[in-house]
Amino acid sequence: MSSLALINEFLGQPPNASSHGYQIDHILEFCHWFMGALFVGWSAFFIYVLIRFRKRRQPGADHLGVRSGISTHLEFSVVLIEAVLLLGFAIPLWAKRVNQFPPGKDALLVHVVAQQFSFNYHLPGPDGQFGRRDISFESNSNPLGLDPNDPAGKDDIVTAGELHVPVNRPVVAELSSKDVIHDFFLPSMRIGGDAIPGSLIPIWFTPIKTGTDEVICAQLCGLGHYGMKGTLVVDTPQDYQAWLKERAELAGGSQSAAPSPSPGAPQPQNKPSEPAASPTPGG
Protein backbone atom coordinates (compact mmCIF):
# COMPACT_ATOMS: atom_id res chain seq x y z
CA MET A 1 0.00 0.00 0.00
CA SER A 2 2.77 2.42 0.91
CA SER A 3 4.57 1.94 -2.39
CA LEU A 4 1.32 2.34 -4.27
CA ALA A 5 0.64 5.62 -2.48
CA LEU A 6 3.58 7.18 -4.31
CA ILE A 7 1.47 8.40 -7.21
CA ASN A 8 -1.23 10.00 -5.05
CA GLU A 9 1.46 11.84 -3.09
CA PHE A 10 3.15 12.87 -6.31
CA LEU A 11 -0.13 14.33 -7.57
CA GLY A 12 -0.35 16.44 -4.42
CA GLN A 13 -3.40 14.86 -2.85
CA PRO A 14 -4.02 15.90 0.73
CA PRO A 15 -4.07 12.99 3.19
CA ASN A 16 -7.39 11.21 3.40
CA ALA A 17 -9.57 12.14 6.39
CA SER A 18 -12.80 10.22 5.68
CA SER A 19 -13.91 6.66 6.32
CA HIS A 20 -14.53 5.79 2.69
CA GLY A 21 -11.55 7.72 1.29
CA TYR A 22 -9.13 4.79 1.40
CA GLN A 23 -11.19 2.95 -1.19
CA ILE A 24 -11.12 5.98 -3.49
CA ASP A 25 -7.37 6.27 -3.00
CA HIS A 26 -6.94 2.59 -3.80
CA ILE A 27 -8.77 2.93 -7.09
CA LEU A 28 -6.92 6.12 -7.97
CA GLU A 29 -3.55 4.56 -7.24
CA PHE A 30 -4.31 1.37 -9.10
CA CYS A 31 -5.69 3.25 -12.12
CA HIS A 32 -2.63 5.46 -12.32
CA TRP A 33 -0.22 2.53 -12.11
CA PHE A 34 -2.27 0.58 -14.63
CA MET A 35 -2.40 3.53 -17.05
CA GLY A 36 1.34 4.01 -16.52
CA ALA A 37 1.97 0.38 -17.45
CA LEU A 38 -0.28 0.72 -20.52
CA PHE A 39 1.54 3.89 -21.54
CA VAL A 40 4.94 2.24 -21.30
CA GLY A 41 3.68 -0.91 -23.02
CA TRP A 42 1.99 0.82 -25.94
CA SER A 43 4.90 3.25 -26.37
CA ALA A 44 7.37 0.37 -26.52
CA PHE A 45 5.15 -1.45 -29.02
CA PHE A 46 4.84 1.69 -31.15
CA ILE A 47 8.62 2.16 -31.27
CA TYR A 48 9.12 -1.55 -32.07
CA VAL A 49 6.63 -1.31 -34.96
CA LEU A 50 8.30 1.82 -36.35
CA ILE A 51 11.64 0.03 -36.48
CA ARG A 52 10.52 -3.48 -37.40
CA PHE A 53 8.30 -2.39 -40.28
CA ARG A 54 10.42 0.45 -41.61
CA LYS A 55 10.32 0.85 -45.38
CA ARG A 56 13.89 -0.35 -45.97
CA ARG A 57 13.26 -3.65 -44.26
CA GLN A 58 9.68 -4.14 -45.49
CA PRO A 59 9.30 -2.59 -48.95
CA GLY A 60 6.03 -4.39 -49.79
CA ALA A 61 2.87 -4.55 -47.64
CA ASP A 62 2.09 -7.90 -45.98
CA HIS A 63 -1.56 -8.62 -46.69
CA LEU A 64 -1.79 -11.45 -44.16
CA GLY A 65 -0.89 -9.36 -41.11
CA VAL A 66 -0.10 -10.63 -37.63
CA ARG A 67 0.11 -14.40 -37.29
CA SER A 68 0.68 -14.83 -33.57
CA GLY A 69 -2.19 -14.50 -31.08
CA ILE A 70 -0.18 -12.55 -28.54
CA SER A 71 -1.77 -9.17 -29.32
CA THR A 72 -5.26 -10.64 -28.96
CA HIS A 73 -4.33 -12.04 -25.55
CA LEU A 74 -2.86 -8.71 -24.48
CA GLU A 75 -5.91 -6.78 -25.61
CA PHE A 76 -8.19 -9.22 -23.87
CA SER A 77 -6.31 -8.93 -20.57
CA VAL A 78 -6.45 -5.14 -20.72
CA VAL A 79 -10.22 -5.30 -21.27
CA LEU A 80 -10.52 -7.81 -18.42
CA ILE A 81 -8.58 -5.63 -15.96
CA GLU A 82 -10.66 -2.61 -16.94
CA ALA A 83 -13.88 -4.57 -16.51
CA VAL A 84 -12.78 -5.74 -13.05
CA LEU A 85 -11.91 -2.15 -12.09
CA LEU A 86 -15.23 -0.84 -13.27
CA LEU A 87 -17.59 -3.63 -12.20
CA GLY A 88 -15.65 -4.82 -9.15
CA PHE A 89 -14.57 -1.55 -7.59
CA ALA A 90 -15.77 1.69 -9.15
CA ILE A 91 -19.49 0.94 -9.60
CA PRO A 92 -19.99 -0.71 -6.15
CA LEU A 93 -18.18 2.19 -4.45
CA TRP A 94 -20.29 4.69 -6.38
CA ALA A 95 -23.49 2.80 -5.53
CA LYS A 96 -22.56 2.89 -1.86
CA ARG A 97 -22.03 6.65 -2.07
CA VAL A 98 -25.35 7.40 -3.71
CA ASN A 99 -27.66 4.67 -2.39
CA GLN A 100 -26.56 3.80 1.13
CA PHE A 101 -27.08 7.03 2.98
CA PRO A 102 -26.69 6.83 6.75
CA PRO A 103 -29.99 6.76 8.67
CA GLY A 104 -31.33 10.23 9.43
CA LYS A 105 -30.98 10.08 13.19
CA ASP A 106 -27.29 9.13 13.10
CA ALA A 107 -26.24 11.70 10.59
CA LEU A 108 -25.69 15.39 10.85
CA LEU A 109 -27.66 17.21 8.18
CA VAL A 110 -26.33 20.47 6.80
CA HIS A 111 -27.74 22.56 4.01
CA VAL A 112 -24.99 23.93 1.83
CA VAL A 113 -26.10 26.84 -0.32
CA ALA A 114 -23.54 28.00 -2.84
CA GLN A 115 -23.46 31.45 -4.36
CA GLN A 116 -20.94 33.53 -6.28
CA PHE A 117 -18.46 33.25 -4.55
CA SER A 118 -18.91 31.54 -1.23
CA PHE A 119 -20.63 28.65 0.50
CA ASN A 120 -23.38 29.32 3.06
CA TYR A 121 -24.27 26.74 5.66
CA HIS A 122 -27.65 26.29 7.28
CA LEU A 123 -27.93 24.21 10.46
CA PRO A 124 -31.16 23.46 12.32
CA GLY A 125 -30.06 24.78 15.72
CA PRO A 126 -30.95 23.23 19.12
CA ASP A 127 -34.52 22.28 18.10
CA GLY A 128 -33.21 20.07 15.30
CA GLN A 129 -35.65 21.59 12.79
CA PHE A 130 -34.78 23.61 9.74
CA GLY A 131 -36.72 26.83 9.37
CA ARG A 132 -38.59 27.53 6.15
CA ARG A 133 -36.66 29.35 3.47
CA ASP A 134 -38.05 31.44 0.68
CA ILE A 135 -36.32 33.55 -1.88
CA SER A 136 -38.67 36.47 -1.17
CA PHE A 137 -37.11 36.89 2.27
CA GLU A 138 -33.60 37.03 0.92
CA SER A 139 -31.51 40.09 1.72
CA ASN A 140 -27.96 40.96 2.66
CA SER A 141 -28.69 40.29 6.31
CA ASN A 142 -30.68 37.15 5.48
CA PRO A 143 -28.62 35.46 2.74
CA LEU A 144 -30.61 32.22 2.82
CA GLY A 145 -34.06 33.80 2.93
CA LEU A 146 -35.07 32.34 6.29
CA ASP A 147 -38.73 32.98 6.98
CA PRO A 148 -38.81 35.31 10.03
CA ASN A 149 -42.35 34.11 10.82
CA ASP A 150 -41.42 30.44 11.09
CA PRO A 151 -40.77 29.45 14.73
CA ALA A 152 -38.61 26.48 13.61
CA GLY A 153 -36.17 28.92 12.06
CA LYS A 154 -35.72 31.12 15.13
CA ASP A 155 -32.74 29.13 16.46
CA ASP A 156 -31.31 28.16 13.06
CA ILE A 157 -27.65 28.74 12.47
CA VAL A 158 -26.58 30.38 9.25
CA THR A 159 -22.89 30.73 8.68
CA ALA A 160 -20.54 31.24 5.77
CA GLY A 161 -16.96 30.37 5.04
CA GLU A 162 -16.30 27.95 7.87
CA LEU A 163 -18.23 24.78 8.64
CA HIS A 164 -17.63 22.69 11.74
CA VAL A 165 -18.51 19.00 11.93
CA PRO A 166 -17.90 16.43 14.67
CA VAL A 167 -15.45 13.61 14.07
CA ASN A 168 -16.67 10.02 13.51
CA ARG A 169 -20.24 10.99 12.74
CA PRO A 170 -21.72 10.79 9.24
CA VAL A 171 -22.43 14.16 7.68
CA VAL A 172 -25.07 14.58 5.00
CA ALA A 173 -24.64 17.81 3.08
CA GLU A 174 -27.59 18.86 0.94
CA LEU A 175 -26.26 20.99 -1.88
CA SER A 176 -28.06 23.77 -3.68
CA SER A 177 -27.15 27.01 -5.36
CA LYS A 178 -28.51 30.53 -5.53
CA ASP A 179 -27.09 31.45 -8.90
CA VAL A 180 -24.93 29.27 -11.15
CA ILE A 181 -23.59 25.72 -10.96
CA HIS A 182 -20.93 25.34 -8.28
CA ASP A 183 -19.30 22.23 -6.87
CA PHE A 184 -18.87 21.68 -3.16
CA PHE A 185 -15.61 19.74 -3.06
CA LEU A 186 -13.89 18.45 0.06
CA PRO A 187 -10.56 17.05 -1.16
CA SER A 188 -9.50 15.55 2.16
CA MET A 189 -12.91 13.85 2.52
CA ARG A 190 -12.65 12.47 -1.03
CA ILE A 191 -16.14 13.70 -1.81
CA GLY A 192 -17.76 16.47 -3.77
CA GLY A 193 -20.98 17.26 -5.54
CA ASP A 194 -22.41 19.82 -7.90
CA ALA A 195 -24.57 22.55 -6.42
CA ILE A 196 -27.19 23.21 -9.07
CA PRO A 197 -29.86 25.94 -8.92
CA GLY A 198 -33.27 24.38 -8.44
CA SER A 199 -31.92 21.03 -7.24
CA LEU A 200 -31.17 19.54 -3.85
CA ILE A 201 -28.26 17.14 -4.16
CA PRO A 202 -27.20 15.21 -1.06
CA ILE A 203 -23.69 13.90 -0.49
CA TRP A 204 -22.34 12.21 2.60
CA PHE A 205 -19.07 11.39 4.31
CA THR A 206 -17.76 10.44 7.73
CA PRO A 207 -14.73 12.41 8.93
CA ILE A 208 -12.29 10.24 10.86
CA LYS A 209 -9.60 12.77 11.75
CA THR A 210 -9.90 16.05 13.59
CA GLY A 211 -8.27 19.02 11.93
CA THR A 212 -8.80 21.79 9.44
CA ASP A 213 -9.42 20.93 5.81
CA GLU A 214 -10.03 22.87 2.67
CA VAL A 215 -13.37 23.36 0.93
CA ILE A 216 -13.15 24.42 -2.69
CA CYS A 217 -15.52 25.10 -5.53
CA ALA A 218 -14.77 22.65 -8.31
CA GLN A 219 -16.83 24.23 -11.07
CA LEU A 220 -15.66 27.22 -13.02
CA CYS A 221 -18.47 29.44 -11.76
CA GLY A 222 -17.39 32.95 -12.69
CA LEU A 223 -14.64 35.52 -12.36
CA GLY A 224 -14.27 35.03 -8.61
CA HIS A 225 -14.17 31.25 -8.82
CA TYR A 226 -10.49 31.13 -7.83
CA GLY A 227 -11.36 32.67 -4.48
CA MET A 228 -14.30 30.41 -3.72
CA LYS A 229 -12.69 28.55 -0.88
CA GLY A 230 -13.74 27.73 2.61
CA THR A 231 -12.74 25.75 5.64
CA LEU A 232 -14.05 22.53 7.07
CA VAL A 233 -13.12 22.07 10.70
CA VAL A 234 -13.46 18.55 12.07
CA ASP A 235 -13.91 18.90 15.82
CA THR A 236 -14.01 16.55 18.75
CA PRO A 237 -17.63 16.19 19.91
CA GLN A 238 -16.93 18.59 22.81
CA ASP A 239 -15.42 21.24 20.56
CA TYR A 240 -18.30 20.82 18.15
CA GLN A 241 -20.86 21.41 20.90
CA ALA A 242 -18.92 24.50 21.96
CA TRP A 243 -18.95 25.80 18.39
CA LEU A 244 -22.69 25.10 18.06
CA LYS A 245 -23.34 26.95 21.29
CA GLU A 246 -21.29 29.91 20.15
CA ARG A 247 -23.07 30.06 16.78
CA ALA A 248 -26.47 29.66 18.45
CA GLU A 249 -25.68 32.56 20.77
CA LEU A 250 -24.62 34.65 17.82
CA ALA A 251 -27.79 33.69 15.96
CA GLY A 252 -29.89 34.50 19.03
CA GLY A 253 -28.17 37.86 19.33
CA SER A 254 -28.83 38.80 15.75
CA GLN A 255 -32.36 37.39 15.97
CA SER A 256 -33.50 39.96 18.54
CA ALA A 257 -32.08 42.73 16.42
CA ALA A 258 -33.14 41.18 13.13
CA PRO A 259 -36.61 42.65 12.51
CA SER A 260 -35.56 46.30 12.66
CA PRO A 261 -32.18 46.71 10.90
CA SER A 262 -33.46 45.87 7.44
CA PRO A 263 -35.77 48.73 6.58
CA GLY A 264 -34.69 48.76 2.97
CA ALA A 265 -35.17 45.06 2.42
CA PRO A 266 -38.43 43.96 0.85
CA GLN A 267 -40.36 42.40 3.75
CA PRO A 268 -43.69 41.17 2.42
CA GLN A 269 -46.68 40.97 4.73
CA ASN A 270 -45.07 42.83 7.59
CA LYS A 271 -47.49 44.56 9.89
CA PRO A 272 -47.18 48.31 9.47
CA SER A 273 -47.70 48.69 13.22
CA GLU A 274 -43.98 48.44 13.99
CA PRO A 275 -42.53 51.22 16.06
CA ALA A 276 -41.51 53.80 13.52
CA ALA A 277 -37.76 53.49 13.20
CA SER A 278 -35.88 56.74 13.19
CA PRO A 279 -34.11 57.04 9.84
CA THR A 280 -30.59 56.16 10.92
CA PRO A 281 -28.39 55.73 7.89
CA GLY A 282 -25.73 53.05 7.57
CA GLY A 283 -25.37 50.03 9.77
**SS3 state at 43:** helix
| Angle (nearest 5°) at CA 25 between 19 and 28 | 150
221 binds Cu ion (CB under 5 A): yes
Work out which of 122, 133, 182, 190 binds Cu ion, going by CB under 5 A.
182
The interface region with Cu ion, picked from 12-20, 99-107, 220-228, 262-270 by CB under 5 A, is: 220-228
**Residue 185 vs 205, nearer CB to Cu ion:** 185
| Residue 177 · residue 113 · CB < 8 Å | yes
217 binds Cu ion (CB under 5 A): yes
| Residue 187 · residue 214 · CB < 8 Å | yes
| Residue 10 · residue 36 · CB < 8 Å | no
The interface region with Cu ion, picked from 17-25, 41-49, 64-72, 182-190 by CB under 5 A, is: 182-190
Helices (H), 17-154: 21-52, 70-83, 91-99
**Residue 191 vs 228, nearer CB to Cu ion:** 228
Could you check whether the bond before residue 89 is cis, i.e. omega within 30 degrees of 0?
no
The interface region with Cu ion, picked from 5-13, 196-204, 210-218, 274-282 by CB under 5 A, is: 210-218
**Residue 164 vs 182, nearer CB to Cu ion:** 182
Work out which of 228, 232, 234, 251 binds Cu ion, going by CB under 5 A.
228
Kindly state the smallest distance separating residue 191's Cβ from Cu ion, in Å: 16
Kindly state the smallest distance separating residue 221's Cβ from Cu ion, in Å: 3
Beta strands, E only, the chain: 108-115, 118-123, 157-160, 162-166, 171-177, 182-186, 191-195, 201-205, 211-217, 229-235
The interface region with Cu ion, picked from 13-21, 91-99, 137-145, 178-186 by CB under 5 A, is: 178-186
**Residue 147 vs 194, nearer CB to Cu ion:** 194
DSSP classification of residue 240: H
Residues lying near Cu ion in the complex (CB under 5 A) are found at 182, 217, 221, 228
